[in-house]
Amino acid sequence: MTDTGKVKTRFAPSPTGYLHIGGARTALFNWLFARHHGGTFVLRVEDTDQLRSTDESTRAILDAMTWLGLVWDEGPYFQAQRVEIHREMVKRLLREGKAYYCTCSPEELEEKRKTALAEGRKPKYDGTCRDRDLGPSDGAVVRFRCPEAGVTVVPDLVKGRITFNNEELDDLVIERADGYPTYNFAVVVDDALMGITHVIRGDDHVNNTPRQILLYEALGFDVPRFGHVPMILGPDRTRLSKRHGATSVMAYRDMGYLPEALVNYLVRLGWSHGDQEIFTLDELIAYFDLDAVGKSAAVFNPEKLLWLNQHYIKEYDTARLTEAVIPFWRDMGFEVPDESFARMVVQDLKSRAKTLVELAEAGRFYFSAEVEYQPEALKFLTPEVAGHLEALAEALTGFADYTKEGIETFLRRVAEERNIKLKAIAQPLRVALTGKTASPGLDEVMMTLGRERVVERIRKAVEFIAGNRT
Protein backbone atom coordinates (compact mmCIF):
# COMPACT_ATOMS: atom_id res chain seq x y z
CA MET A 1 0.00 0.00 0.00
CA THR A 2 1.25 3.47 -0.88
CA ASP A 3 0.45 6.45 1.28
CA THR A 4 1.41 9.76 -0.27
CA GLY A 5 -1.19 11.96 1.35
CA LYS A 6 -4.60 12.59 -0.14
CA VAL A 7 -5.16 10.07 -2.92
CA LYS A 8 -6.68 11.31 -6.16
CA THR A 9 -7.31 8.99 -9.09
CA ARG A 10 -8.98 9.46 -12.43
CA PHE A 11 -10.61 7.61 -15.27
CA ALA A 12 -10.05 9.30 -18.61
CA PRO A 13 -11.86 7.55 -21.48
CA SER A 14 -11.81 8.70 -25.08
CA PRO A 15 -15.38 9.12 -26.42
CA THR A 16 -14.78 7.21 -29.63
CA GLY A 17 -17.00 4.24 -28.79
CA TYR A 18 -18.78 2.52 -25.94
CA LEU A 19 -17.29 1.73 -22.55
CA HIS A 20 -15.81 -1.72 -22.97
CA ILE A 21 -14.97 -4.33 -20.35
CA GLY A 22 -11.29 -3.38 -20.12
CA GLY A 23 -12.08 0.30 -19.65
CA ALA A 24 -14.73 -0.51 -17.06
CA ARG A 25 -12.23 -2.54 -15.03
CA THR A 26 -9.74 0.34 -15.18
CA ALA A 27 -12.43 2.74 -13.97
CA LEU A 28 -13.40 0.30 -11.21
CA PHE A 29 -9.82 -0.12 -9.98
CA ASN A 30 -9.36 3.67 -9.85
CA TRP A 31 -12.70 4.14 -8.09
CA LEU A 32 -11.99 1.43 -5.50
CA PHE A 33 -8.44 2.68 -4.88
CA ALA A 34 -9.75 6.18 -4.21
CA ARG A 35 -12.56 4.91 -1.98
CA HIS A 36 -10.22 2.59 -0.08
CA HIS A 37 -7.86 5.45 0.72
CA GLY A 38 -10.58 8.00 1.42
CA GLY A 39 -9.56 9.92 -1.67
CA THR A 40 -11.14 11.53 -4.73
CA PHE A 41 -12.16 9.96 -8.03
CA VAL A 42 -12.16 12.19 -11.13
CA LEU A 43 -13.84 11.57 -14.47
CA ARG A 44 -12.23 13.28 -17.45
CA VAL A 45 -13.35 12.79 -21.03
CA GLU A 46 -10.37 12.92 -23.40
CA ASP A 47 -12.10 14.29 -26.47
CA THR A 48 -9.30 16.13 -28.25
CA ASP A 49 -9.53 13.71 -31.19
CA GLN A 50 -12.11 15.85 -32.94
CA LEU A 51 -12.58 13.46 -35.87
CA ARG A 52 -13.47 10.40 -33.79
CA SER A 53 -15.00 11.82 -30.61
CA THR A 54 -18.82 11.94 -30.51
CA ASP A 55 -21.46 13.16 -28.08
CA GLU A 56 -23.19 9.80 -28.43
CA SER A 57 -20.10 7.97 -27.18
CA THR A 58 -19.72 10.42 -24.31
CA ARG A 59 -23.31 9.80 -23.21
CA ALA A 60 -22.84 6.04 -23.55
CA ILE A 61 -19.73 6.12 -21.35
CA LEU A 62 -21.38 8.27 -18.68
CA ASP A 63 -24.48 6.04 -18.72
CA ALA A 64 -22.33 2.92 -18.30
CA MET A 65 -20.38 4.46 -15.42
CA THR A 66 -23.63 5.45 -13.72
CA TRP A 67 -25.16 2.01 -14.25
CA LEU A 68 -22.10 0.36 -12.69
CA GLY A 69 -22.37 2.69 -9.70
CA LEU A 70 -18.95 4.28 -10.28
CA VAL A 71 -20.00 7.76 -9.19
CA TRP A 72 -17.30 10.37 -9.73
CA ASP A 73 -16.41 13.08 -7.22
CA GLU A 74 -15.18 15.61 -9.78
CA GLY A 75 -16.08 16.10 -13.41
CA PRO A 76 -16.82 15.14 -15.97
CA TYR A 77 -14.11 17.42 -17.30
CA PHE A 78 -13.70 17.65 -21.06
CA GLN A 79 -10.18 17.81 -22.40
CA ALA A 80 -11.20 19.71 -25.53
CA GLN A 81 -12.33 22.60 -23.31
CA ARG A 82 -8.80 22.81 -21.88
CA VAL A 83 -6.90 23.17 -25.15
CA GLU A 84 -5.84 26.76 -24.39
CA ILE A 85 -4.23 25.53 -21.16
CA HIS A 86 -2.33 22.88 -23.13
CA ARG A 87 -1.20 25.45 -25.69
CA GLU A 88 0.17 27.73 -22.98
CA MET A 89 2.18 24.82 -21.60
CA VAL A 90 3.55 24.10 -25.08
CA LYS A 91 4.61 27.74 -25.41
CA ARG A 92 6.33 27.51 -22.04
CA LEU A 93 8.41 24.54 -23.16
CA LEU A 94 9.27 26.35 -26.40
CA ARG A 95 10.42 29.43 -24.47
CA GLU A 96 12.57 27.29 -22.21
CA GLY A 97 14.17 25.44 -25.11
CA LYS A 98 12.59 22.15 -24.07
CA ALA A 99 10.51 21.87 -27.25
CA TYR A 100 10.94 22.88 -30.88
CA TYR A 101 9.01 23.24 -34.13
CA CYS A 102 9.34 20.48 -36.71
CA THR A 103 8.42 20.83 -40.38
CA CYS A 104 9.19 17.29 -41.52
CA SER A 105 6.31 16.15 -43.70
CA PRO A 106 4.47 12.86 -43.16
CA GLU A 107 6.06 11.56 -46.35
CA GLU A 108 9.56 12.44 -45.13
CA LEU A 109 8.86 10.81 -41.76
CA GLU A 110 7.70 7.63 -43.49
CA GLU A 111 10.89 7.52 -45.55
CA LYS A 112 12.99 8.00 -42.40
CA ARG A 113 11.06 5.16 -40.74
CA LYS A 114 11.64 2.80 -43.67
CA THR A 115 15.35 3.64 -43.82
CA ALA A 116 15.80 3.05 -40.11
CA LEU A 117 14.06 -0.33 -40.30
CA ALA A 118 16.12 -1.32 -43.34
CA GLU A 119 19.32 -0.44 -41.45
CA GLY A 120 18.20 -2.36 -38.36
CA ARG A 121 17.67 0.79 -36.30
CA LYS A 122 14.70 1.67 -34.13
CA PRO A 123 12.31 3.79 -36.27
CA LYS A 124 12.42 6.84 -33.98
CA TYR A 125 12.51 10.45 -35.13
CA ASP A 126 16.09 11.33 -36.12
CA GLY A 127 16.07 14.90 -34.82
CA THR A 128 16.31 16.62 -38.21
CA CYS A 129 14.62 19.79 -36.92
CA ARG A 130 15.95 19.59 -33.35
CA ASP A 131 18.56 22.32 -33.67
CA ARG A 132 17.19 24.31 -36.63
CA ASP A 133 15.55 26.92 -34.39
CA LEU A 134 12.39 26.98 -36.51
CA GLY A 135 9.34 29.11 -35.81
CA PRO A 136 5.64 28.38 -36.28
CA SER A 137 4.45 27.72 -39.82
CA ASP A 138 1.69 25.94 -41.70
CA GLY A 139 2.01 22.20 -41.20
CA ALA A 140 4.57 22.52 -38.41
CA VAL A 141 4.23 20.41 -35.27
CA VAL A 142 5.88 20.92 -31.89
CA ARG A 143 8.18 18.21 -30.55
CA PHE A 144 9.45 17.67 -27.02
CA ARG A 145 13.25 17.75 -26.71
CA CYS A 146 13.81 14.40 -25.04
CA PRO A 147 17.04 13.84 -23.08
CA GLU A 148 19.47 11.90 -25.26
CA ALA A 149 21.21 10.10 -22.40
CA GLY A 150 20.43 8.65 -19.01
CA VAL A 151 17.56 6.49 -17.87
CA THR A 152 13.97 7.03 -16.77
CA VAL A 153 12.76 4.76 -13.99
CA VAL A 154 9.12 3.81 -13.46
CA PRO A 155 8.54 2.43 -9.93
CA ASP A 156 5.36 0.70 -11.04
CA LEU A 157 2.89 -0.19 -8.26
CA VAL A 158 1.87 -3.38 -10.06
CA LYS A 159 4.81 -4.45 -12.21
CA GLY A 160 7.66 -3.26 -10.01
CA ARG A 161 10.65 -1.19 -11.14
CA ILE A 162 10.90 -0.66 -14.91
CA THR A 163 13.90 1.13 -16.44
CA PHE A 164 13.98 2.83 -19.84
CA ASN A 165 17.06 4.15 -21.64
CA ASN A 166 16.35 7.71 -22.75
CA GLU A 167 18.30 7.19 -25.97
CA GLU A 168 15.56 4.72 -26.99
CA LEU A 169 12.88 7.41 -26.68
CA ASP A 170 12.28 9.88 -29.49
CA ASP A 171 11.28 13.53 -29.56
CA LEU A 172 7.56 12.96 -29.43
CA VAL A 173 5.08 15.38 -30.97
CA ILE A 174 3.28 17.32 -28.22
CA GLU A 175 1.20 19.65 -30.44
CA ARG A 176 -0.16 18.66 -33.84
CA ALA A 177 -0.23 20.91 -36.86
CA ASP A 178 -3.90 21.70 -36.17
CA GLY A 179 -2.98 23.22 -32.81
CA TYR A 180 -4.38 20.40 -30.71
CA PRO A 181 -2.24 18.63 -28.12
CA THR A 182 -1.32 14.98 -28.50
CA TYR A 183 -2.48 12.42 -25.95
CA ASN A 184 0.84 12.11 -24.11
CA PHE A 185 1.11 15.85 -23.54
CA ALA A 186 -2.50 16.68 -22.70
CA VAL A 187 -2.77 13.83 -20.21
CA VAL A 188 0.32 15.03 -18.34
CA VAL A 189 -0.87 18.62 -18.12
CA ASP A 190 -4.39 17.64 -17.05
CA ASP A 191 -3.27 15.05 -14.50
CA ALA A 192 -0.79 17.49 -13.00
CA LEU A 193 -3.15 20.47 -12.81
CA MET A 194 -5.96 18.29 -11.41
CA GLY A 195 -3.67 16.96 -8.70
CA ILE A 196 -3.85 13.30 -9.72
CA THR A 197 -1.62 11.32 -7.35
CA HIS A 198 -2.05 7.83 -8.80
CA VAL A 199 -2.42 6.88 -12.46
CA ILE A 200 -3.90 3.37 -12.70
CA ARG A 201 -4.35 2.15 -16.26
CA GLY A 202 -3.86 -0.75 -18.65
CA ASP A 203 -0.36 -2.02 -19.33
CA ASP A 204 -0.69 -1.07 -22.99
CA HIS A 205 0.32 2.39 -21.68
CA VAL A 206 3.62 1.25 -20.15
CA ASN A 207 5.69 2.58 -23.05
CA ASN A 208 4.01 5.98 -22.76
CA THR A 209 4.98 6.33 -19.13
CA PRO A 210 8.71 7.25 -19.43
CA ARG A 211 7.84 9.94 -21.98
CA GLN A 212 5.17 11.29 -19.66
CA ILE A 213 7.52 11.28 -16.67
CA LEU A 214 10.03 13.33 -18.67
CA LEU A 215 7.25 15.79 -19.53
CA TYR A 216 6.26 16.11 -15.87
CA GLU A 217 9.86 16.87 -14.99
CA ALA A 218 10.31 19.34 -17.86
CA LEU A 219 7.18 21.23 -16.75
CA GLY A 220 8.24 21.19 -13.10
CA PHE A 221 5.27 19.09 -11.94
CA ASP A 222 5.25 16.37 -9.29
CA VAL A 223 5.27 12.93 -10.88
CA PRO A 224 2.32 10.74 -9.82
CA ARG A 225 2.63 7.08 -8.92
CA PHE A 226 1.87 4.71 -11.79
CA GLY A 227 0.24 1.29 -11.70
CA HIS A 228 -0.22 -0.65 -14.92
CA VAL A 229 -2.71 -3.52 -14.77
CA PRO A 230 -2.44 -6.48 -17.17
CA MET A 231 -4.81 -6.75 -20.09
CA ILE A 232 -7.88 -8.97 -20.25
CA LEU A 233 -7.69 -11.98 -22.55
CA GLY A 234 -10.43 -14.03 -24.14
CA PRO A 235 -10.83 -17.75 -23.32
CA ASP A 236 -8.39 -18.54 -26.15
CA ARG A 237 -5.81 -16.29 -24.42
CA THR A 238 -5.81 -13.68 -27.17
CA ARG A 239 -6.74 -10.09 -26.44
CA LEU A 240 -10.44 -9.75 -25.56
CA SER A 241 -12.41 -8.68 -28.61
CA LYS A 242 -15.86 -8.90 -30.16
CA ARG A 243 -15.19 -12.38 -31.44
CA HIS A 244 -15.25 -13.55 -27.81
CA GLY A 245 -18.75 -12.10 -27.31
CA ALA A 246 -19.96 -8.78 -25.97
CA THR A 247 -17.26 -6.35 -24.86
CA SER A 248 -19.48 -3.31 -24.17
CA VAL A 249 -20.67 -2.75 -20.61
CA MET A 250 -24.15 -1.75 -21.72
CA ALA A 251 -24.45 -4.87 -23.85
CA TYR A 252 -24.26 -6.84 -20.61
CA ARG A 253 -26.97 -4.66 -19.14
CA ASP A 254 -29.14 -5.36 -22.18
CA MET A 255 -28.44 -9.10 -21.86
CA GLY A 256 -29.87 -9.00 -18.36
CA TYR A 257 -26.83 -8.79 -16.12
CA LEU A 258 -26.97 -6.91 -12.83
CA PRO A 259 -24.37 -4.17 -12.26
CA GLU A 260 -23.31 -5.71 -8.94
CA ALA A 261 -22.52 -8.99 -10.69
CA LEU A 262 -20.46 -7.29 -13.38
CA VAL A 263 -18.59 -5.18 -10.83
CA ASN A 264 -17.86 -8.25 -8.70
CA TYR A 265 -16.66 -10.14 -11.76
CA LEU A 266 -14.50 -7.33 -13.14
CA VAL A 267 -12.71 -6.71 -9.87
CA ARG A 268 -11.73 -10.39 -9.75
CA LEU A 269 -10.15 -10.12 -13.21
CA GLY A 270 -6.62 -9.56 -11.98
CA TRP A 271 -7.24 -8.90 -8.26
CA SER A 272 -7.86 -11.29 -5.41
CA HIS A 273 -8.46 -11.40 -1.68
CA GLY A 274 -7.66 -14.91 -0.55
CA ASP A 275 -10.09 -17.40 -2.06
CA GLN A 276 -13.14 -15.15 -1.70
CA GLU A 277 -15.21 -14.91 -4.87
CA ILE A 278 -18.28 -12.89 -3.87
CA PHE A 279 -17.92 -9.43 -2.34
CA THR A 280 -20.24 -6.72 -1.16
CA LEU A 281 -19.31 -3.23 -2.29
CA ASP A 282 -18.28 -2.34 1.26
CA GLU A 283 -15.97 -5.35 1.32
CA LEU A 284 -14.40 -4.35 -2.00
CA ILE A 285 -13.72 -0.84 -0.70
CA ALA A 286 -12.26 -2.23 2.52
CA TYR A 287 -10.02 -4.83 0.86
CA PHE A 288 -8.96 -3.34 -2.46
CA ASP A 289 -5.39 -2.22 -3.00
CA LEU A 290 -2.88 -2.51 -5.80
CA ASP A 291 -0.55 -4.90 -3.98
CA ALA A 292 -3.07 -7.68 -4.65
CA VAL A 293 -3.29 -7.01 -8.40
CA GLY A 294 -1.56 -9.75 -10.36
CA LYS A 295 1.16 -9.22 -12.94
CA SER A 296 -0.29 -11.75 -15.41
CA ALA A 297 -3.10 -11.18 -17.87
CA ALA A 298 -6.59 -12.16 -16.69
CA VAL A 299 -8.79 -14.51 -18.74
CA PHE A 300 -12.42 -13.54 -19.25
CA ASN A 301 -14.73 -16.44 -18.42
CA PRO A 302 -18.36 -15.86 -19.50
CA GLU A 303 -19.58 -18.88 -17.52
CA LYS A 304 -18.12 -17.48 -14.29
CA LEU A 305 -19.86 -14.16 -14.91
CA LEU A 306 -23.13 -15.97 -15.56
CA TRP A 307 -22.73 -17.91 -12.31
CA LEU A 308 -22.18 -14.69 -10.40
CA ASN A 309 -25.18 -13.08 -12.04
CA GLN A 310 -27.39 -15.99 -11.05
CA HIS A 311 -26.17 -15.62 -7.47
CA TYR A 312 -26.96 -11.90 -7.40
CA ILE A 313 -30.41 -12.37 -8.94
CA LYS A 314 -31.22 -14.98 -6.31
CA GLU A 315 -30.01 -12.77 -3.45
CA TYR A 316 -31.31 -9.44 -4.79
CA ASP A 317 -34.03 -7.53 -2.97
CA THR A 318 -37.26 -8.48 -4.77
CA ALA A 319 -38.51 -4.90 -5.10
CA ARG A 320 -35.23 -3.73 -6.70
CA LEU A 321 -35.11 -6.79 -8.93
CA THR A 322 -38.65 -6.05 -10.08
CA GLU A 323 -37.66 -2.50 -11.04
CA ALA A 324 -34.77 -3.96 -13.05
CA VAL A 325 -36.84 -6.57 -14.91
CA ILE A 326 -39.97 -4.51 -15.70
CA PRO A 327 -38.28 -2.78 -18.69
CA PHE A 328 -37.62 -6.21 -20.20
CA TRP A 329 -41.30 -7.14 -19.93
CA ARG A 330 -42.27 -3.83 -21.50
CA ASP A 331 -39.84 -4.49 -24.33
CA MET A 332 -41.67 -7.79 -24.84
CA GLY A 333 -44.89 -5.82 -25.29
CA PHE A 334 -46.46 -6.38 -21.86
CA GLU A 335 -47.97 -3.59 -19.82
CA VAL A 336 -47.04 -3.83 -16.14
CA PRO A 337 -49.43 -1.46 -14.38
CA ASP A 338 -49.55 -3.51 -11.16
CA GLU A 339 -46.09 -3.58 -9.56
CA SER A 340 -47.29 -5.67 -6.61
CA PHE A 341 -48.25 -8.40 -9.10
CA ALA A 342 -44.89 -8.03 -10.85
CA ARG A 343 -43.09 -8.42 -7.51
CA MET A 344 -44.94 -11.68 -6.87
CA VAL A 345 -43.91 -12.92 -10.32
CA VAL A 346 -40.27 -12.02 -9.62
CA GLN A 347 -40.38 -13.74 -6.25
CA ASP A 348 -41.63 -16.90 -7.96
CA LEU A 349 -38.89 -16.86 -10.60
CA LYS A 350 -35.76 -15.29 -9.09
CA SER A 351 -34.28 -18.53 -7.78
CA ARG A 352 -34.44 -20.07 -11.26
CA ALA A 353 -33.03 -17.35 -13.53
CA LYS A 354 -29.45 -16.67 -14.61
CA THR A 355 -30.21 -13.33 -16.32
CA LEU A 356 -32.99 -10.77 -16.29
CA VAL A 357 -33.77 -11.70 -19.89
CA GLU A 358 -34.23 -15.30 -18.80
CA LEU A 359 -36.36 -14.20 -15.85
CA ALA A 360 -38.52 -11.99 -18.06
CA GLU A 361 -39.01 -14.76 -20.61
CA ALA A 362 -39.86 -17.27 -17.88
CA GLY A 363 -42.51 -14.86 -16.63
CA ARG A 364 -44.20 -14.46 -19.98
CA PHE A 365 -47.11 -16.76 -19.07
CA TYR A 366 -48.04 -14.59 -16.08
CA PHE A 367 -48.73 -11.58 -18.32
CA SER A 368 -50.06 -13.21 -21.48
CA ALA A 369 -53.78 -12.84 -22.09
CA GLU A 370 -53.80 -16.29 -23.68
CA VAL A 371 -51.72 -19.23 -22.49
CA GLU A 372 -49.43 -20.54 -25.22
CA TYR A 373 -49.09 -24.31 -24.84
CA GLN A 374 -45.63 -25.65 -25.64
CA PRO A 375 -45.79 -28.56 -28.13
CA GLU A 376 -44.19 -30.92 -25.62
CA ALA A 377 -46.84 -29.95 -23.03
CA LEU A 378 -49.86 -30.92 -25.16
CA LYS A 379 -49.57 -34.59 -24.21
CA PHE A 380 -50.82 -33.65 -20.74
CA LEU A 381 -54.02 -32.01 -22.04
CA THR A 382 -55.97 -35.17 -22.91
CA PRO A 383 -59.68 -36.00 -22.79
CA GLU A 384 -58.95 -38.18 -19.74
CA VAL A 385 -57.94 -35.17 -17.63
CA ALA A 386 -60.66 -32.79 -18.82
CA GLY A 387 -63.07 -33.93 -16.12
CA HIS A 388 -60.46 -33.57 -13.40
CA LEU A 389 -59.65 -30.05 -14.52
CA GLU A 390 -63.33 -29.13 -14.67
CA ALA A 391 -63.80 -30.45 -11.14
CA LEU A 392 -60.79 -28.35 -9.97
CA ALA A 393 -62.23 -25.19 -11.49
CA GLU A 394 -65.63 -25.85 -9.93
CA ALA A 395 -64.20 -26.57 -6.49
CA LEU A 396 -61.89 -23.53 -6.56
CA THR A 397 -64.76 -21.09 -6.97
CA GLY A 398 -66.07 -21.94 -3.52
CA PHE A 399 -62.73 -22.72 -1.87
CA ALA A 400 -62.18 -20.52 1.21
CA ASP A 401 -58.54 -21.11 2.26
CA TYR A 402 -56.81 -19.63 -0.82
CA THR A 403 -53.30 -19.61 0.68
CA LYS A 404 -50.13 -21.52 -0.30
CA GLU A 405 -50.73 -24.08 2.42
CA GLY A 406 -54.45 -24.23 1.70
CA ILE A 407 -53.87 -24.76 -2.04
CA GLU A 408 -51.59 -27.74 -1.43
CA THR A 409 -54.18 -29.33 0.88
CA PHE A 410 -56.93 -28.54 -1.62
CA LEU A 411 -55.16 -30.26 -4.53
CA ARG A 412 -54.50 -33.37 -2.49
CA ARG A 413 -58.14 -33.49 -1.38
CA VAL A 414 -59.47 -33.18 -4.94
CA ALA A 415 -57.11 -35.96 -6.08
CA GLU A 416 -58.34 -38.22 -3.27
CA GLU A 417 -62.00 -37.47 -4.02
CA ARG A 418 -61.47 -38.40 -7.67
CA ASN A 419 -59.44 -41.46 -6.72
CA ILE A 420 -56.33 -40.41 -8.66
CA LYS A 421 -52.73 -39.69 -7.72
CA LEU A 422 -51.77 -36.05 -7.25
CA LYS A 423 -49.29 -36.15 -10.14
CA ALA A 424 -52.11 -37.21 -12.47
CA ILE A 425 -53.75 -33.84 -11.94
CA ALA A 426 -50.72 -31.65 -11.06
CA GLN A 427 -49.01 -31.70 -14.47
CA PRO A 428 -52.18 -31.04 -16.51
CA LEU A 429 -52.95 -28.20 -14.12
CA ARG A 430 -49.42 -26.79 -14.58
CA VAL A 431 -49.84 -26.87 -18.36
CA ALA A 432 -53.28 -25.26 -18.12
CA LEU A 433 -51.89 -22.37 -16.04
CA THR A 434 -48.47 -21.85 -17.65
CA GLY A 435 -48.41 -23.68 -20.98
CA LYS A 436 -45.18 -25.36 -19.80
CA THR A 437 -44.09 -28.65 -18.31
CA ALA A 438 -41.76 -26.88 -15.83
CA SER A 439 -42.55 -23.85 -13.70
CA PRO A 440 -42.38 -22.62 -10.13
CA GLY A 441 -44.43 -24.59 -7.62
CA LEU A 442 -48.15 -24.85 -8.38
CA ASP A 443 -48.99 -23.20 -5.07
CA GLU A 444 -46.76 -20.22 -5.96
CA VAL A 445 -48.17 -19.92 -9.48
CA MET A 446 -51.76 -20.12 -8.24
CA MET A 447 -51.16 -17.54 -5.51
CA THR A 448 -49.52 -15.10 -7.91
CA LEU A 449 -52.10 -15.50 -10.69
CA GLY A 450 -54.97 -15.25 -8.23
CA ARG A 451 -58.12 -17.35 -8.02
CA GLU A 452 -59.98 -15.62 -10.88
CA ARG A 453 -57.21 -16.07 -13.43
CA VAL A 454 -56.55 -19.62 -12.31
CA VAL A 455 -60.18 -20.66 -12.78
CA GLU A 456 -60.34 -18.89 -16.15
CA ARG A 457 -57.18 -20.65 -17.42
CA ILE A 458 -58.35 -24.07 -16.26
CA ARG A 459 -61.65 -23.64 -18.10
CA LYS A 460 -59.87 -22.48 -21.25
CA ALA A 461 -57.72 -25.61 -21.08
CA VAL A 462 -60.88 -27.72 -20.85
CA GLU A 463 -62.27 -25.87 -23.89
CA PHE A 464 -59.00 -26.48 -25.73
CA ILE A 465 -59.22 -30.24 -24.98
CA ALA A 466 -62.82 -30.33 -26.16
CA GLY A 467 -61.92 -28.50 -29.37
CA ASN A 468 -59.12 -30.96 -30.14
CA ARG A 469 -60.98 -34.22 -29.58
CA THR A 470 -60.93 -36.53 -32.53
The closest of 457, 175, 384 to 448, measured between CA atoms, is 457
Whole-angstrom distance, CA of residue 90 vs CA of residue 86: 6
Whole-angstrom distance, CA of residue 272 vs CA of residue 371: 48
Question: Is the distance from CB of 459 to CB of 393 less than 8 angstroms?
Answer: yes
Which helix or strand (DSSP H or E) is residue 304 part of?
A: helix 302-315
Whole-angstrom distance, CA of residue 441 vs CA of residue 438: 9
Kind of pairing between the strands at 40-45 and 74-78: parallel
Q: Report CA 380 to chain centroid distance, whole Å.
A: 44
Please list the active-site residues: 242
Q: Which DSSP symbol is given to 238?
A: S
CA 380, 386, 390 angle in degrees (round to 5)?
125
Burial class (CB in 10 A: 0-12, 13-18, 19+), 367: middle
Which helix or strand (DSSP H or E) is residue 175 part of?
A: strand 173-175
What are the residues facing 143 on neighbouring strands?
100, 173
